[in-house]
Structure 1
Amino acid sequence: MTLWQWIFAILVIVIVGLAWMAVFHPRRFVRLPFKIVLGLLYRKRIVGLENLPKEGGCVVAANHVSWIDGILILWMLPRNVRFVVDGENFTSGLGKYLGDAFDTIYMLSGPKSIMRAILDARDGLNKGDVVGLFPEGTLTRTGQLQAFKPGLRKFVQKTDSVIVPVWMHGMWGSIFSFSGGKFFFKWPTKFRRTLTLYIGEPLPRTTPLEHVRSKVHALGAQATVDARSEFPVLARRIVRVWRKRGGQMQAADSMGNEVSGREMLIRTLALRRVLRREVFGKDEQHVAVLLPPSVAGVIVNVALAIDRRISANLNYTAGSDVLNHCNRSVGVKHVLTSERFLSKVDIELDSELVVLESLKDKVSKLDKAIAAFQAVLVPAFLLDRILGTHKIDPDDLMTVIFTSGSTGMPKGVQLSGANISHNVEAIERAVHLDTSDTVLGILPFFHSFGYTVTLWSVMTLGPRGVYHFNPLDAKQVGKLAEKYGVTVLLATPTFLRGYLRRVTPEQFSKLDVAVVGAEKMPADLFDAFEKKFGVRPVEGYGTTELSPLVSVNIPPTRSAAKYQPDRIEGSVGRPLPGISARVISTDNGEEMPAGQDGMLMVSGPNLMKGYAGQDDLTAKAIVDGWYTTGDIANIDDQGFIHITGRQSRFSKIGGEMVPHVRVEEELSKLFVEGDEDETVRVCVTAVPDEKKGERLVVLHVPTQKDICEMRVKLQEAGLPNLFIPSQDSYKQVDAIPLLGTGKLDLKKARDIANE
């Protein structure tokens, strides 16, 4: 035989062999090209493979991010998985062939088809098959884990199977996911991405549906924590964003400053040079900042981040003793501030003050020239190396945010670059901030929400930032909103009441999103704000220790949801992508069923590195990677978090837990009845009581309302007698004590009550 004859014979044998395999062993035939193609496109990694039973029936319950999740799981797992799929997607000849190759279970619309699929799955489980489900029932549009459909419970009934929670990580951003607001028709964010399949410990088939979801969610948080090195380094990202903005306005403030992206970068780089030469010692790490939210405040914080120093923004509404305590706790030597701002506050600090005005004369022409050259002409990758930002590790500390001190002396919360960067990425997915937005920055940078969202999220996601130092100054807020066309407002309910009274509809005419937090949003305020401004606020939730965002309801105009809700009024939303939350019993630590109150626990890459110099408090707050928030909450069957109180805001009276917030809500309705004034009028606290353990005390502003009548109305509102403060438990004050962030000052309120 000639060479060509040999080649032809081999080709015939190969073709016949493949045809035989395609007919008699379709699974092997399909797996081969899948293995080759997927191996070229992706790297695979499996965590927890030992948790997948080697034999016997089990249900794989996985999250659903992309159109090819099922194919990927089949590629990654050693056992065949019989996925339950929508049969309408497999009606073509090729589709049916591929589905049949893996013994896929088809489900069509209609009760008979659904029941047939359930029976097929049960039969397979009893024979020892692995059945795969995507319990969300639909692809996620934000990367958030959606509610689980109840069908999972029906599949495992009358079987001895277990449920294996699974999380596929790495497909968000691919063309098969909804990242960027669409499927397929977009450039992928990376090539040959690494996919990691996390497999959790098997769960009994009787496990409540919400607990199965919780286990899958926890795997997602673990996956995101493990992948934190992939988060953008914000000090590098901001250089690129400001360059792209160029000569267009990037930031403005109520002091008359309007600065373009290019000018922001030049000023930041020049300030960094001067600070390194004139102020900082070689090993100086922590630097305090005493500035209001402003253009200068942004530039100073960014300059410190680019110089790989740790900022500590100080709460200028606190007293000198508190601020000196904060500085000592992290070893601050220098405080960056301004002469203009110092003249407005009564503060005496032990650390050396460096006023920005004094640095202007020290900025030489050479400094300006070098800063301009770096900002405009030096390639970004080279500038990273000149500045040293390429050496920044995701776990490096970026800032210390001090807690509000509402219950005692502030604690220094240490947040890494990865902590802040994750929050920025999560906001981009959930709220979709972009270059068309203008965000009103009224929250101070010493507040974690102000630092993470109105500073870093705004400056790195593309919007313009407009800043004002006093969130209660509704008149100025309205002027700024109208002048710059503000589209996004981040505030507290207390601030919204002021805007409702003093801001005109014309001033908020461009407003598209209003997100509130820090305190519970009164039901009447939703309607009143929407009626006047045409925008319905949504609530979010977070804590300083969590960088701070945990969850948020998606604003209506930014929603990409289909088939499942992404906001429920009265809740604080679902956890953001990569964050997991659960509620446990305060008695035995067991996870609570859906809708039942307990202690809210949170895990994820947004979790702080710890309290500065207070390892004992860190160990108490974080257990096995879960942060104890101190908030009493429940998670409903849709995965939405409902905050019902603060552990410190409950009193044990006569053996029963009495929630201060519940009493406060009813009293607030009575105090504001017929009155449009927006001030906080009532605060419920408690003092020790010899007979019943504790006694409720109501602090209230001057009023003409009759206390006896109000107590009757509390009873009519359905409050138990134990919840109704006694006649002599009402204390009139000139004003309810508040912190600079708008939250109640609980410590001061208790002190007044104890007097």
Structure 2
Amino acid sequence: MSHPATPRSIRSASFLGLTATQFLGAFNDNMFRWLAVPIGQRTMDPTLALVLGGVLFTIPYLLLAPLSGSLADRLPKQAVIVRCKVAEIVLTALGILAIATSQLWLLFAIVFLLGAQSALFGPAKFGALPEILKPESLSQGNGLLGLATVTGSALGTVAGYKLYGVAGPVLDAGPTLAGLWIPAAALIGTAIAGTLTSLFVRTAGAASPGKRIAWNPVTETWPAIQVLFRDVRLLRCALGIGFFWMLASLAQLNTDPFGNEGLHLPKEDVGILMAVLVAGMGVGSVLAGIWSQGKVELGLVPLGAFGISASALGVFIASRFVDVSLAATSQPAFYGVCTMLFCLGGFAALFDIPLEAYLQYRSDDSNRGTVLAGSNFVSFSLILVSCGLFQLLHGVLNLPPATIFMLAGLGTIPIVVYVVLLLPEFLARFLFYVLSRVMYRLKVYGRENIPERGGALLVANHVSWIDGILLLVSSSRFVRFIMYADYVNKPFLRWFCQRGGIIPIKAGSGGRAVLAALNEAREAVLRGEVVCIFAEGALTRTGQLQPFQRGLMRIVDGTAAPIIPVYLHGLWGSVFSFRGGKFFWKKPAQWPYPISIHFGKPIAQADDVNQVRQAVELLGVEANEMARSTELTVARKFVRQARRGRNRLKIADSAGVELTGGRTLAGALALRSVLRRTVFAPDEQNVGILLPPSVGGCLANLAVTLDCRTTVNLNYTMADSVINYCVRKAGLKHVLTSRRFLEKRPVALEGAEWVFLEDIKEQITGLDKAKAAMHAFATPIVVLERLLGLTRVQPDDLLTIVFTSGSTGDPKGVMLTQANIGSNVQAVDQLLQLKPSDCLLGILPFFHSFGYTATLWLPLCFDARSCYHFNPLDAKTVGTLAEKYGVSIILAAPTFLRNYVKRCTKEQFSKLHLVVTGAEKLPMDLAEEFNTKFGFYPSEGYGTTEMSPVAAVNIPDHLARDAMYKTNKLGTVGRAIPGCAVKVVSPETWADLGVNTEGLLLVKGPNIMKGYLGDPQKTAEVIRDGWYASGDFAKIDEEGFVHITGRQSRFSKIGGEMVPHIRIEEELNRLSPSSQEEETGPRIAISSAPDPSRGERLIVLYTELAKPSSQLVKDLSATGLPNLWLPSTDSFYKVETIPVLGTGKLDLAAIKKMALELAASGKSGHRDTHATEAAPAATPS
């Protein structure tokens, strides 16, 4: 049985008993193993025996790790420990029997089972430490326990070989039980001794309707011509269209004699040439529409002119190769002529269509008919000219038709030169468009938000060197950009920049130079031009949206011009972005690279620059939402990443299990195969998992996800009743776990069946392994994804259900979709910039959304590796793992970091360059201590389970070299992650609040949960119009950093876990009933105060207690509340009254203030008092 435990010192009998038990267990495990291996080598391949012994003993640590943790929480830890030791007695006895009967298979089965009991023992052992030792002794206790393990293992190995020396002759002579009494005594005796020592352990209408009708063509034509002459651009456009029609007429006229005289075609066959010419024009017209991308693309005009000239000359040249003595249609040269005619028609259309569109676009609604009439007049006039010209050339001068085509081509050359000189910026824009189409798969949304005429200011995020080019080719209007003069004045760019209307800004020449550029931009807007500014002032070094400069407001001030927010999505990671700490010199991740540009709704009058920044930020949210259907799911990303890194280490854990990418995929596929065949029903969607962070836990999650099912990682730290509630709520039929885990954390499961990974492993056949290996290493990825059904998975399909802690009642099931987790890992990778050399430390449980997203899927989806350990408090093992695997990134709560600062060496963390903390506030002293020891500050982030979970994070300086703005700020949780938007509102009205104003923090993005399982009402309460109410109070400064200032709900974050005040108040009121006949007000209120080790500690304010505080804490513990939920006995403070509001509700602000003052007074509340004693007010009890 278990006994109440009071944390004691290192010298306590309980700790000494645990240490002795651990030593004897490690000793016995290794002694038996190294007795069994030599025995096995007698009859089998020696190498095989060695491998078999190691594999069989190690696999349970992988398979049973989750089970062991749950057992350690489900049962009293002493009970788990004692039962494991009793099992050890039985197993060693069976081992001796196996030796005596020469049952080699049984002998190695015992090796496996001993490994299983040892794995089940582990979590109970480490979990018992906080119950046995005082907090200040935990580090030392872990160290001593580790020392006992190492020593016992070493000595056990030696002893095992010694026992074989004793048993060898017996085995030669014929083994008997009597002859094996020494090995039996050693093994069974050690198991009994370990059992005895274990007993000491205590434990998201008409434009001009009045205009008259004109009948006289002469009087009407001249005004139309006058209109054209008043606008030189309209005149040039009309002349260009007229040139097209003149050339078209000439070509049409010339084609007939060209076929008859030049090619000697029968008359009936000349139509072929005409059809080819017209077909080319048709195709050219279609291409002009496609390539214009919904805008007037004058860049096609120079291209069309050049093509006209080249094609007309090509017709002449091709005709020279036609032998007129033979049938023309039988000669290849004839088809060359047809091709050139087709191209001539196509290029002519490319020349004409943009001009026609521009004429319509440029003319006003009130006189468009007049302008078109004038243009038609010019066109018809030039058609007449072409007729006269053809008569002159062919009828008078008797020039061959082919020569006329040649003259047409030569005559177009001056037009080409003129158009290129006239429209260089448009030609450049089109050429950039072609180039962008080669390099990128560009989609443009919201182009209609750019006003057709009049001034406007485009305000865009700045991600890459070619953002301006992409905006230029995407805009429906010509755009003038504000650029740094250093770039504008480069020799090879100066001419284009001048012709392109670039507005240079000399940032380093003082305020006057900057002001001059802004005024020039303002004048351009006033003239009706479109100007674009990258308001961040520099390329982002992290992918995050940086602060906007206030100068943009000066451009539109007093102009009545709208601001058009623009968001460039998907460019981070491209060749021209700063991903990887450099521009240009990196391999394209994909070709063509998928990107999109989003033009937002015009902002008629912006209040300030922060309103504009938020509009751009919201466009980023929209862009990410729209990209969901094109993004790969996390499972598909993993499959592809595993194939690319099939021979590189992918996952490992503290049990010594190491798997490459290929073996990880193969293992998950093999496990999936057996589960489908023997366990899962076809309609079984949700699958429970009860495993700690480990290779086994990773494979279990992968197997379920690769089978297109939804994982439900159960919280093994909860009570059985809560676990069973989650099982019922999620409709689980099976829960994957391991016997070893359940031995250490027994769970009385109701309504579902256990599925033990040990049993599944035994059912994996050779065929299963062969198929898994073939799929993992050889099957084409596209085929494998279809075979697994991954291509049918939709972004809104559930990936996982994560249950909250059930703070104020039953736990809520947070439904996270494929898109939720996928977008979050994509954003985090964008910020952390993972490399193949990176290794993530996985110490967070998978039932925690931070652990599930950041330590499970993040390294699986990208080119990095991870190593797992089930106990984040075990600094010794963490340090060892970090040194062994070169851990470079740690994601953890500050509570754990403090332990690592104390226990881990700088050498162990030599590869570490990034630490991201969450779950609780990062204490400044801890940040300083960490920086002092390891040379850099941890980066604090923010999020909740409902946010999948990351919403904001600080980025360290070394990942943002040469950044214009700071990317991290101590005391804040950083800026919103890419694709996510944050704002603060009034908690009562949800009205937007400005910068540096405290309010309720709202978050919007593709990472926001689908909702609460089976609770649409609660979902609607926290999600409005895509905005999630975080429950936290915050303010956002001018630089976009989020400052968490408090919590709306009454919770404390202690050791990274949410601890509810209301729940504890209810239990205390129940356990300490009032002695008064009438209630005069609340008697107990829970608040909190800062705590240097765990983030916060609970403060109990009371007016009376029915029993001493020490007894209340014991009674609270007996209710099954987690240890983190228990206030310490010195945190009870007696007060005169509990502050309340006029409505009778608790005055939380006053209570908080009172709690902080009492906690800061330095008084210790260790002395027990209760209602019957006279205790002064506002003193600790």
Query: TM-score of the superposition, structure 2-length normalised?
Result: 0.56
Q: Following TM superposition, by how much is the alpha carbon of 1:274 offset from its aligned partner in structure 2, in angstroms?
A: 0.8
Match of 2:908 in 1: 507
Report if the CA contact (8 A) 2:838-2:865 is conserved.
yes
1:592/1:187 CA distance change after superposition, 3 Å: same
Q: Are 1:69 and 2:499 matched, yes or no?
A: no
1:637/1:371 CA distance change after superposition, 3 Å: same
Counterparts of residues 150-165 of structure 1 (less than 5 Å): 150-165=550-565
Matched residue of 2:891: which SS? Answer: strand
Q: Following TM superposition, by how much is the alpha carbon of 1:452 offset from its aligned partner in structure 2, in angstroms?
A: 0.8
CA separation in 1, counterparts of 2:1006 and 2:445? 18
Match of 2:663 in 1: 263
Q: Are 1:379 and 2:755 matched, yes or no?
A: no
1:629 to 1030, 1045, 1052: 1030
Larger mean Cα displacement after TM superposition, 296-305 or 246-255 = 246-255
Match of 1:167 in 2: 567
Q: Are 1:201 and 2:201 matched, yes or no?
A: no
2:855 to 442, 451, 454: 454
Structure 1 residue identity aligned to 2:417: A
Larger mean Cα displacement after TM superposition, 228-237 or 624-633 = 228-237
Matched residue of 2:476: which SS? Answer: coil
1:706/1:235 CA distance change after superposition, 3 Å: closer
Q: Following TM superposition, by how much is the alpha carbon of 1:318 offset from its aligned partner in structure 2, in angstroms?
A: 0.5
Report if the CA contact (8 A) 2:543-2:572 is conserved.
yes
Q: Following TM superposition, by how much is the alpha carbon of 1:100 offset from its aligned partner in structure 2, in angstroms?
A: 3.2
1:688/1:324 CA distance change after superposition, 3 Å: farther
Matched residue of 1:405: which SS? Answer: coil
Match of 1:539 in 2: 940
Q: Are 1:87 and 2:512 matched, yes or no?
A: no
Q: Following TM superposition, by how much is the alpha carbon of 1:700 offset from its aligned partner in structure 2, in angstroms?
A: 5.6
Q: Following TM superposition, by how much is the alpha carbon of 1:660 offset from its aligned partner in structure 2, in angstroms?
A: 9.6
Larger mean Cα displacement after TM superposition, 460-469 or 85-94 = 85-94
Counterparts of residues 520-559 of structure 1 (less than 5 Å): 520-559=921-960
1:73/1:483 CA distance change after superposition, 3 Å: closer
1:496/1:220 CA distance change after superposition, 3 Å: same
1:722/1:512 CA distance change after superposition, 3 Å: closer
Residues 26-49 of structure 1: CA deviation (Å, up to 9, x unaligned): 444544544555556555544334
Matched residue of 2:1049: which SS? Answer: helix
1:298 to 698, 704, 725: 698
Report if the CA contact (8 A) 1:427-1:433 is conserved.
no
Structure 1 residue identity aligned to 2:1006: P
Match of 2:526 in 1: 126
Q: Following TM superposition, by how much is the alpha carbon of 1:434 offset from its aligned partner in structure 2, in angstroms?
A: 2.3
Report if the CA contact (8 A) 1:513-1:557 is conserved.
no
1:664 to 1068, 1085, 1089: 1089
Report if the CA contact (8 A) 2:841-2:891 is conserved.
yes
1:458/1:42 CA distance change after superposition, 3 Å: closer
Match of 1:55 in 2: 453
CA separation in 1, counterparts of 2:988 and 2:1103? 23
Structure 1 residue identity aligned to 2:946: E
Matched residue of 1:166: which SS? Answer: strand
2:872 to 471, 483, 508: 471
Report if the CA contact (8 A) 1:699-1:731 is conserved.
no
Matched residue of 1:270: which SS? Answer: helix
Q: Following TM superposition, by how much is the alpha carbon of 1:247 offset from its aligned partner in structure 2, in angstroms?
A: 4.5
Structure 1 residue identity aligned to 2:548: F
CA separation in 1, counterparts of 2:433 and 2:913? 47
Report if the CA contact (8 A) 1:581-1:600 is conserved.
yes
Match of 1:482 in 2: 883
1:704/1:361 CA distance change after superposition, 3 Å: closer
Matched residue of 2:501: which SS? Answer: coil
CA separation in 2, counterparts of 1:194 and 1:248? 28
Q: Following TM superposition, by how much is the alpha carbon of 1:195 offset from its aligned partner in structure 2, in angstroms?
A: 4.6
Structure 2 residue identity aligned to 1:724: M
1:218/1:282 CA distance change after superposition, 3 Å: same
> Cα RMSD between the aligned structures?
3.3
Match of 1:608 in 2: 1009
Q: Which runs of 5+ in 2 are unaligned?
A: 1-398, 1052-1060, 1062-1084, 1105-1124, 1136-1148, 1168-1180
Q: Following TM superposition, by how much is the alpha carbon of 1:614 offset from its aligned partner in structure 2, in angstroms?
A: 1.1
Q: Are 1:345 and 2:745 matched, yes or no?
A: yes
Structure 2 residue identity aligned to 1:266: A
Larger mean Cα displacement after TM superposition, 167-176 or 264-273 = 167-176
Match of 1:701 in 2: 1128
CA separation in 2, counterparts of 1:497 and 1:173? 34
CA separation in 1, counterparts of 2:1166 and 2:921? 22
1:45/1:722 CA distance change after superposition, 3 Å: closer
1:229/1:684 CA distance change after superposition, 3 Å: farther
Matched residue of 1:489: which SS? Answer: strand
CA separation in 2, counterparts of 1:364 and 1:24? 75
1:364/1:403 CA distance change after superposition, 3 Å: same
Matched residue of 1:203: which SS? Answer: coil
Larger mean Cα displacement after TM superposition, 43-52 or 432-441 = 43-52
Match of 2:768 in 1: 367
Q: Are 1:421 and 2:811 matched, yes or no?
A: no
Match of 1:105 in 2: 503
1:575 to 972, 976, 997: 976
CA separation in 2, counterparts of 1:580 and 1:704? 39
Report if the CA contact (8 A) 1:684-1:699 is conserved.
no
Counterparts of residues 11-50 of structure 1 (less than 5 Å): 11-34=409-432, 36-38=434-436, 45-50=443-448
Structure 2 residue identity aligned to 1:196: S
Larger mean Cα displacement after TM superposition, 238-247 or 564-573 = 238-247
Report if the CA contact (8 A) 2:441-2:594 is conserved.
yes
Report if the CA contact (8 A) 1:21-1:29 is conserved.
no
Structure 2 residue identity aligned to 1:571: T
Count how many residue pairs are aligned between Structure 1 and Structure 2.
701
CA separation in 1, counterparts of 2:575 and 2:660? 34
Residues 635-681 of structure 1: CA deviation (Å, up to 9, x unaligned): 11111111111111499xxxxxxx999x723xx3xxx6xxxxx4567
CA separation in 2, counterparts of 1:46 and 1:595? 35
Match of 2:682 in 1: 282
Structure number having the greater helix percentage: 2
Structure number having the greater strand percentage: 1
Match of 1:654 in 2: none
CA separation in 1, counterparts of 2:409 and 2:529? 37
CA separation in 2, counterparts of 1:509 and 1:394? 39
Q: Following TM superposition, by how much is the alpha carbon of 1:722 offset from its aligned partner in structure 2, in angstroms?
A: 7.7
Q: Following TM superposition, by how much is the alpha carbon of 1:67 offset from its aligned partner in structure 2, in angstroms?
A: 2.0
Counterparts of residues 203-282 of structure 1 (less than 5 Å): 203-282=603-682
CA separation in 2, counterparts of 1:225 and 1:704? 47
Larger mean Cα displacement after TM superposition, 237-246 or 128-137 = 237-246
CA separation in 1, counterparts of 2:654 and 2:832? 26
Structure 2 residue identity aligned to 1:683: L
Larger mean Cα displacement after TM superposition, 148-157 or 90-99 = 90-99
Report if the CA contact (8 A) 2:693-2:846 is conserved.
yes
Bigger radius of gyration: 2
CA separation in 1, counterparts of 2:841 and 2:905? 16
Counting aligned pairs with the same residue, the percent is: 43
Query: TM-score of the superposition, structure 1-length normalised?
Result: 0.86
Matched residue of 1:664: which SS? Answer: strand
Q: Following TM superposition, by how much is the alpha carbon of 1:528 offset from its aligned partner in structure 2, in angstroms?
A: 1.2
Larger mean Cα displacement after TM superposition, 10-19 or 355-364 = 10-19
Match of 1:185 in 2: 585
CA separation in 2, counterparts of 1:196 and 1:506? 45
CA separation in 1, counterparts of 2:1103 and 2:683? 49
Match of 2:725 in 1: 325
Report if the CA contact (8 A) 1:65-1:177 is conserved.
yes
CA separation in 2, counterparts of 1:707 and 1:487? 48
